[in-house]
Amino acid sequence: MTEHADPVTTPYRPRATLRDVAAMAGVSMKTVSRVVNGEGGVTPQKVDAVRLAISRLDYRPNVSASALRRSSRRTAAIGTVLEDLANPFSSALLRAVEDVANEKRVLILAGSVDEDQQRERALVRAFTERRVDGLIIAPVGEDQGYLRAEMEAGTPLVFVDRQPQGLLADCVLSDNEAGARDAVHRLAEAGHRRIAYLGDLAIIPTAQQRFAGYQRGLLERGLPLDPAHVVHDLHTVDDAARATTALLRSEDAPTALFASQNLVTIGAITALQDLGLEQRVALFGFDDFPMADLLKPRVSVIAQDPAAMGRAAAELLFERLDGERGRPRRILLPTTTVLRGSGEIPPGRP
């Protein structure tokens, strides 16, 4: 027979209040409030007494209540609406926003929309109902005009990765078309004439820009655009792997692939490895991803800088919060061509 000891219960202890801190420190509640909010007019001795009481009582200020009392009505929180927080691009962007916000002691609320327009609106509404000071948004909907009232009410908005539709607002973007164009040029320089395009959802503005860059690159190199070598609406690794397999098993198979998004690139790599063609078919991806430099061959990519995008967006948002006015700004960040090996494979390699 096994005996079980009664669980040890921790006595309930109410959370310390402003009044508790004032009583322990021997000062008024107004003095405690000034110390907590970093205001002046308090003697060093009283500041020390308040801080000691805060430490002993483990006092935690009510940020929401403080915001209601402050004339600025700031909540010291910003909302971040991104495509997929699990995606390396979104996570790096968010971390950069968080680093900037942390320096200003501002909290980040974040959520993923997964290319769902209704989810974008729901997240934005949830954040604005919590009175965030501003929003950083990677838009997926076809119309961001629903945010006009929020802007007019004074909430700063900064869009990242994609330009908003139906709304003039600050945005930080990558030069997607130029990056895709350069990938095609690099593959052409390696001797390829049959270069396939593996694209994300065709309704996504960044996918449209990258496809435009692909077309422009072919045109500038005098290469044909073969509709049979163009596949759109690939949004998962499995979708991309199936499409790549079908292309490479076709009668007039391409000798090189341009994958326009990091998950599409991973799907293409999966198919190349399954077919044993990773050393014979060239591959250029758009967006870097973890382990790209450890695969064989190492994967050549057009790299965006999500950290720079996040920093620029956060800094722009805080400028607006600090009172910066003026016309909406559009910041265009260059991409970087990273040659690692897969994009330099020549056609016809045995």
State CA 39 to chain mean position distance. Answer: 35
Q: Which residues pair with 171 in a beta bridge?
A: 159, 330
Q: What is the pLDDT of residues 290-319, one digit of tens each?
A: 889 999 999 999 999 999 999 999 999 999
Q: How far apart, in whole angstroms, are the C-alpha atoms of residue 16 and residue 20?
A: 6
Question: Measured between alpha carbons, how far is residue 27 from residues 13, 46, 63, 280 in Å?
Answer: 23, 7, 21, 77
Q: Which residues contact 107 (CB under 8 A, 6 or more apart)?
A: 63, 76, 77, 78, 101
Give mean pLDDT, residues 115-141.
Answer: 91
Q: How far apart, in whole angstroms, are the C-alpha atoms of residue 345 and residue 224?
A: 20
SS3 160: strand
DSSP per residue, 70-91: STT---SEEEEEES-TTSHHHH
| Percent of the chain scoring above 90 in pLDDT | 71
Which helix (H) or strand (E) segment holds residue 248: the answer is helix 237-248
C-alpha closest to that of 284 among 345, 219, 202: 345
| Percent of the chain scoring above 70 in pLDDT | 92
CATH of domain 1-61: 1.10.260.40
Residue-range domain boundaries for the chain: 1-61, 77-174+306-333, 176-305+337-344
Q: What is the pLDDT of residues 235-275, one digit of tens each?
A: 899 999 999 999 999 999 999 999 999 999 999 999 999 99
Tokens 């350069």 locate to 182
Q: What is the pLDDT of residues 32-48, one digit of tens each?
A: 888 887 788 899 999 99
Residues for the chain: how many in total?
Answer: 350
What's residue 9's pLDDT? 43
Radius of gyration from C-alpha coordinates of the chain: 27
Over 70: is that where the pLDDT of 103 sits?
yes
Name the architecture of domain 77-174+306-333: 3-Layer(aba) Sandwich (3.40)
CATH of domain 176-305+337-344: 3.40.50.2300
Q: How far apart, in whole angstroms, are the C-alpha atoms of residue 214 and residue 152?
A: 39
Tell me, yes or no, if the two domains 1-61 and 77-174+306-333 fold the same way: no
